[in-house]
């Protein structure tokens, strides 16, 4: 009858982390003196579910810890105590601590209790400050509880070793508690099991139990689903009534429960219990007890006597190791709505399929052909809709990422002594989950940078005539097939002069190199660049921006920075909405079909000889309006046999790149279509200039061009760029 | 159970025991030489289909093939061994293997002249390839084995299919 609870762990952890996130964001909304009961209730509910869940799963370290947190919350909620800043700080620390503990448990490791017991002490200190009446939860006791993590292992082997001996023997201050517990017959139907409660009680102190089986019907009348027993429990413990009640919390409505306290320090004061038959509670709780197993009356009604718990007892976390080792395996919560719409579409697809197969049978006539074509058109619509819906499932609002930043900003600004206001815009903008997971770290880095390097201290700001508190704005919106995320601060901006000096000092550029201001600012994305003199733990190890840029590029995205001195900086991240599907332009190069991502293409042009200039022999430029665009002969770059004889026979596809506009010379343009991106690396290896492959309608494979890679293949280097710029500058002057 | 059946069972058991020290190899021909690869690494054998060329790759990479939705690179084993390429025809065979490489398991197709046979080879029967000096292909060889009158060259897939 023991249930393998481990199958629910995943859900528990997920919900708990979600709960922690909620607690965190609500805590941040909590201001000293606040009495907004809704906020407090939300926090309390989240904490309570975590406590309940962890108790159920036997993670008593977490449950105990959350209990203290909850006690303080409860007092605040009920108005007996006012919220203060240090409360919020402590709660936030506790949230972090809980997160660490849960992570450890998830990874099947022993959670580190040093931090949690420290925080518990602080909680207790707060609780005891004004409320000596609740002294029963003394710090000493708490510590012992904390030092024995996960000591409640009922579900791994509850029935072989049913009653866990108490954690600590009755110390001074112990009281004798008499508990009478008589559940209603339907107790088991509510999914409760008394033995678990008793086991929990046993953890509180030394316990003895008497079961009263008077109500047990004759064997043939016994309904196995009903509970007939009641129990008299004697508990010697330094606990308080609340704690005991809490154990029975779930069954209060379904049972008669009397808890009485005997202040005496003795153990054997069970006179209240008279002639009752005792049974071993441990082995045969509840209805399964047959009269035959009951023992004769004993004057000393101690049925279960506990022994000291050996320290070597392995704690709770016992489960299969193999399938839990992959922390990357994540899940998505999908709204029923989205699932329903999927089911609808699949339904339509099935109907269309049935229709088509009907038309396909029998003699084939012109009339049928028409119907068939209609059906195929229907199929195309269905497929496209289905594809969109499936993609929708992967889309989550970006608030999932944004929501962690208020906390981050709060912590950092406190550390830096800066006043920061964080504005979040476009939180409902949807983004693919995979992209979302990978964009979070670069964003953290950028925000840290803005706070650390960008924003000034209040004094500096006042001197500049700005308001004391700086503003960091996170903005997300869709643009074409991209999502744009902006991180805007109104700080001191990036000084090109400082960057330049620094870059020269680091040998990244030469003294005589000429750069525009924008190009100098872009130098911050070079590896090994950090302008902050002293290395702080926030940012400034010089591993920052280049890593950010690389991470974003791995997602086929770009990052740009715009900055004005004393007005602030804006970092703009541009990402594709999804990594799985791409709008592509099919082209032929040397007779082979390739795909150029449509998002990169600006226009496609057939050139006239007059528009082509030759510079320095090897660089061909296409002059368009006021701009010179370098021409890359794709057949040469990819070493294919040339199909076109001259530049003017082919078509120049002008694309956007980090070098500005680039013209890719291809043989011909084919159709535009959506393609599913497949990895070339899965079975082969990385290919320069190719970002992936796809399978076209006729089953052939077509490769997707990676513009950045093509540029480096072409060896389009800085000297070319400089040459071009001087040309372009010249053009502007003329 | 008759004695005959018993004998059969005994035989099978013996056979199975033998198998523990045996490896099975699929052999194929290339330029009249017979080569063997571990049969457990083979996923399927199929005819040659059109491939898509990958730009700027070593000459022995024929391109990629669509194997029921999976992108599979095709290696011309003749070119890989520095032999002369022969034109592909209807009987050109691609052996698709699942090779455990450094970067993980990869599915790769190898173009060979013709598939030959399956042999069981005792561990003890295979000998190390003789030191043939500076020969280019020596690194691909795992060992040599005599099957009847013939000599079969056992290949090291990992070496053959690691391109860099």
Q: Answer whether residue B143 is part of any domain.
A: yes
Q: Answer whether residue B37 is part of any domain.
A: yes
User: Across the interface, which of A683, A689, A702 has its CB nearest the CB of B52?
Assistant: A702
Q: Kindly list the residues from chain A whose CB atom is less than 8 angstroms away from the CB atom of residue B162.
A: none
> Which residue did the predictor score with more confidence, B99 or A316?
B99
> Which residue did the predictor score with more confidence, A444 or A660?
A444
Phi/psi of residue A109, each to 5°? -110, 165
The residue with tokens 């320069």 is: A688
What does each C-alpha distance from B129 to A351, A722, B112 come to in angstroms?
Answer: 63, 57, 21
The residue with tokens 């393998």 is: A4
Q: Residue A382: which residues within 8 A CB-CB, separation 6 or more?
A: A345, A348, A349, A352
Alpha-carbon distance of A251 to A273, in angstroms, equals: 23
Q: Residue A112: which residues within 8 A CB-CB, separation 6 or more?
A: A100, A101, A104
Matching CATH topology for A156-293 and A399-576?
no
Long-range contacts made by residues A551-560, C-beta under 8 angstroms, separation at least 24?
A551/A438, A551/A439, A551/A441, A551/A442, A552/A439, A552/A442, A553/A708, A554/A438, A555/A435, A555/A438, A555/A439, A555/A579, A556/A597, A556/A691, A557/A439, A557/A482, A558/A658, A559/A442, A559/A525
User: Across the interface, which of A592, A680, A683 has its CB nearest the CB of B53?
Assistant: A592
Alpha-carbon distance of A601 to A585, in angstroms, equals: 9
Count CB pairs under 8 A between chains A and B.
64
The SS3 of residue A276 is coil
Residues of chain A by 3-state class (helix, strand, coil), percent to 5? 45, 20, 35
Which of A613, A53, A684 has the alpha carbon at shortest distance from B105? A684
Q: What is the pLDDT of residues A527-550, one digit of tens each?
A: 667 655 444 444 444 456 777 887
Phi/psi of residue B79, each to 5°? -70, -35
Average pLDDT of A709-718?
72
Q: What is the pLDDT of residues A30-39, one digit of tens each?
A: 777 666 677 8
What does each C-alpha distance from A59 to A96, A201, A462 come to in angstroms?
Answer: 17, 16, 51
Q: Residue A74: which residues within 8 A CB-CB, separation 6 or more?
A: A44
CA of A635 vs chain B CAs: smallest distance (Å): 9
Specify the CATH number for A399-576; select among 3.30.565.10, 3.30.70.100, 3.30.420.40, 3.40.120.10: 3.30.565.10
Q: Answer whether residue B32 is part of any domain.
A: yes
A684 and B106 within 8 Å at the Cβ level: the answer is yes
Answer whether A701's CB lies under 8 Å from A695's CB: yes
B107 and A683 within 8 Å at the Cβ level: the answer is yes
Q: Residue A71: which residues within 8 A CB-CB, separation 6 or more?
A: A123, A127, A134, A137
What letter does residue A627 receive in the DSSP assignment? E
Alpha-carbon distance of A150 to A156, in angstroms, equals: 12
What letter does residue B127 receive in the DSSP assignment? B
Answer whether A28's CB lies under 8 Å from A61's CB: no
Is domain A581-733 given the CATH code 2.40.110.10 in the classification?
A: no
Average pLDDT of A112-130?
78
Q: Answer whether residue B1 is part of any domain.
A: no
pLDDT winner (highest mean) among A201-205, A216-220, A325-329, B44-48: B44-48
Q: Answer whether residue B132 is part of any domain.
A: yes
CATH fold label, A5-147: 1.20.120
What letter does residue A309 receive in the DSSP assignment? P
> Which residue did the predictor score with more confidence, A309 or A638?
A638
Report yes or no: B145 at the A interface, CB cutoff 8 Å: no
Q: Answer whether residue B3 is part of any domain.
A: no
- Locate the chain A residue with the closest alpha carbon to B97: A683
Alpha-carbon distance of A557 to A481, in angstroms, equals: 11
- Joined together, the tokens standing for residue A216 give 């047990």
- Does the pLDDT of residue A279 top 50, yes or no? no
Average pLDDT of A243-268?
69
Q: Answer whether residue B100 is part of any domain.
A: yes
Q: What is the mean pLDDT of chain A?
A: 74
Report yes or no: B65 at the A interface, CB cutoff 8 Å: yes
Alpha-carbon distance of A105 to A270, in angstroms, equals: 40
- Locate the chain A residue with the closest alpha carbon to B49: A700
Among A495-504, A597-606, A666-675, B15-24, the minimum mean pLDDT is found in: B15-24
Task: State the pLDDT at residue A734.
Answer: 36
Alpha-carbon distance of A596 to A652, in angstroms, equals: 12
Domain boundaries defined on chain A: 5-147, 156-293, 336-397, 399-576, 581-733
The SS3 of residue A458 is helix
Number of domains in chain B: 1
**A156-293 in CATH: which number?**
3.30.70
User: Across the interface, which of B56, B72, B107 has its CB nearest the CB of A638?
Assistant: B56
Answer whether A121's CB lies under 8 Å from A90's CB: no
Task: State the pLDDT at residue B97.
Answer: 92
Q: Kindly list the residues from chain B whose CB atom is less than 8 angstroms away from the CB atom of residue A690.
A: 54-55
Task: Give the domain CATH number at B78.
Answer: 2.40.50.180
Task: State the pLDDT at residue A721.
Answer: 52
Alpha-carbon distance of A233 to A180, in angstroms, equals: 6
- DSSP for A637-702 reads HTTPPP--SSGGGSEEEEEEETTEEEEEEESEEEEEEEEE-B-STTTS---TTEEEEEE-TTS-EE
Q: Answer whether residue B134 is part of any domain.
A: yes
ipTM score here? 0.81
A695 and B108 within 8 Å at the Cβ level: the answer is no
User: Across the interface, which of A640, A680, A695 has its CB nearest the CB of B69?
Assistant: A695
**Averaged pLDDT in 10-residue chunks for chain B of 164 residues:** 63 57 86 88 90 89 88 91 84 89 87 88 72 64 81 85 79
Alpha-carbon distance of A295 to B132, in angstroms, equals: 87
- Locate the chain B residue with the closest alpha carbon to A691: B54
Tell me the residue range of the domain where B109 lies. Answer: 22-160
Answer whether B57's CB lies under 8 Å from A687's CB: yes
Average pLDDT of A481-486?
82
Task: State the pLDDT at residue A325.
Answer: 38
């Amino acid at each position: 009858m023991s249930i393998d609870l481990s199958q629910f762990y995943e859900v528990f952890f997920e919900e708990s982390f979600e709960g922690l996130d909620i607690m965190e964001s609500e805590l941040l909304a909590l201001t000293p003196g606040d009495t907004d009961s809704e906020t407090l209730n939300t926090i309390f509910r989240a904490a309570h579910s975590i406590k309940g869940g962890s108790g159920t799963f036997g993670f008593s370290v977490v449950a105990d810890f959350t209990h203290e947190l909850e006690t303080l919350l409860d007092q605040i909620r009920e108005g007996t105590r006012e919220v203060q800043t240090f409360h919020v700080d402590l709660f936030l620390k506790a949230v972090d601590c809980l997160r660490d503990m849960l992570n450890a448990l998830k990874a099947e490791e022993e959670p580190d209790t040093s931090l949690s017991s420290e925080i518990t002490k602080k909680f207790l200190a707060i609780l005891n400050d004004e409320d000596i009446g609740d002294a029963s939860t003394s710090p000493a006791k708490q510590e012992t509880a904390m030092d024995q993590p996960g000591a409640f292992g009922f579900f791994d082997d509850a029935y072989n070793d049913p009653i866990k001996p108490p954690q600590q023997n009755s110390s001074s201050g112990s009281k004798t508690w008499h508990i009478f517990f008589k559940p209603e017959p339907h107790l088991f139907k509510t999914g409760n099991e008394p033995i678990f409660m008793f086991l929990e009680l046993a953890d509180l102190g030394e316990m003895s139990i008497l079961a009263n089986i008077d109500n047990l019907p004759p064997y043939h009348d016994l309904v196995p689903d009903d509970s007939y027993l009641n129990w008299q429990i004697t508990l010697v413990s330094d606990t308080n009534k609340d704690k005991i009640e809490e154990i029975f919390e779930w069954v209060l409505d379904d049972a008669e429960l009397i808890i009485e306290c005997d202040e005496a320090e003795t153990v054997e004061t069970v006179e209240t219990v008279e002639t009752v038959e005792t049974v071993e509670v441990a082995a045969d709780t509840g209805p399964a007890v047959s009269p035959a197993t009951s023992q004769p009356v004993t004057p000393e009604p101690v049925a279960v006597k506990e022994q000291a718990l050996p320290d070597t007892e392995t704690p709770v976390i016992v489960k299969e190791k193999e399938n839990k080792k992959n922390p990357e395996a994540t899940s998505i919560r999908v709204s029923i709505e989205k699932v329903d719409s999927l089911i609808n579409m699949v339904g339509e697809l099935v109907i269309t399929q049935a229709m088509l197969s009907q038309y396909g049978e029998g003699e084939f006539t012109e009339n049928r052909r028409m119907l068939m074509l209609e059906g195929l058109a229907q199929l195309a619509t269905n497929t496209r809709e289905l594809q969109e819906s499936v993609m929708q499932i992967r889309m989550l609002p970006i608030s999932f990422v944004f929501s962690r930043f208020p906390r981050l900003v709060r912590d950092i600004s406190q550390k830096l002594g800066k006043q920061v206001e964080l504005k979040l815009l476009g939180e409902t903008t949807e983004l693919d989950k995979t992209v979302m997971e990978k964009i979070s770290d670069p964003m953290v880095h950028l925000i840290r940078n803005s706070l650390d390097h960008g924003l000034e201290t209040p004094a500096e700001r006042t001197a500049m005539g700005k308001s004391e508190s700086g503003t960091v704005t996170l903005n997300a919106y869709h643009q074409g097939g991209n999502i744009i995320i902006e991180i805007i601060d109104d700080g001191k901006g990036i000084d090109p002069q400082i960057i330049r000096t620094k870059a020269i000092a680091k040998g990244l550029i030469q003294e005589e190199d000429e750069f525009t201001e924008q190009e100098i600012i872009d130098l911050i994305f070079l590896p090994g660049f950090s302008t902050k003199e002293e290395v702080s733990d926030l940012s400034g190890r010089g591993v920052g921006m280049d890593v950010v840029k690389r991470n974003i590029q791995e997602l086929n995205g770009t990052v740009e920075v715009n900055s004005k001195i004393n007005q602030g900086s804006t970092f703009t991240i541009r990402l594709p909405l999804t990594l799985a599907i791409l709008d592509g332009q099919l082209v032929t190069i040397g007779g082979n079909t390739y795909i150029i991502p449509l998002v990169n293409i600006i226009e496609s042009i057939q050139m006239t000889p007059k528009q082509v200039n030759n510079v320095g022999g090897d660089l061909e430029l296409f002059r368009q309006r006021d701009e010179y665009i370098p021409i890359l002969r794709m057949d040469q770059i990819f070493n294919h046999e040339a199909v076109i004889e001259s530049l003017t026979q082919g078509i120049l596809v002008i694309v956007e790149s980090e070098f500005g506009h680039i013209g890719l010379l291809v043989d011909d343009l084919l159709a535009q279509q959506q393609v599913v991106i497949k990895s070339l690396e899965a079975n082969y290896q990385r290919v320069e200039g190719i970002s992936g492959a796809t399978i076209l309608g006729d089953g052939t494979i077509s490769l997707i061009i990676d513009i950045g890679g093509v540029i480096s293949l072409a060896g389009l280097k800085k000297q070319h760029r400089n040459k071009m710029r001087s040309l372009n500058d010249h053009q502007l002057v003329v | 159970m008759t004695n005959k059946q018993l004998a059969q069972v005994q035989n099978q058991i013996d056979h199975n025991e033998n198998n523990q020290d045996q490896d099975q190899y699929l052999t194929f021909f290339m330029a009249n030489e017979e080569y063997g690869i571990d049969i457990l690494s083979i996923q399927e054998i199929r005819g040659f289909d059109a491939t898509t060329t990958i730009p700027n790759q070593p000459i022995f990479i024929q391109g990629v093939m669509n194997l029921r939705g999976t992108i599979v690179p095709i290696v011309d084993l003749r070119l890989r061994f520095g032999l002369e390429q022969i034109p592909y025809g209807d009987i050109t065979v691609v052996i698709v293997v699942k090779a455990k490489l450094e970067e993980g398991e990869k599915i790769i197709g190898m173009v060979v002249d013709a598939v030959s046979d399956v042999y069981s080879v005792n561990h003890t029967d295979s000998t190390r390839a003789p030191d043939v000096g500076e020969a280019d292909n020596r690194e691909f060889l795992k060992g040599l084995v005599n099957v009847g009158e013939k000599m079969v060259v056992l290949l090291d897939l990992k070496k053959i299919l690691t391109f860099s």
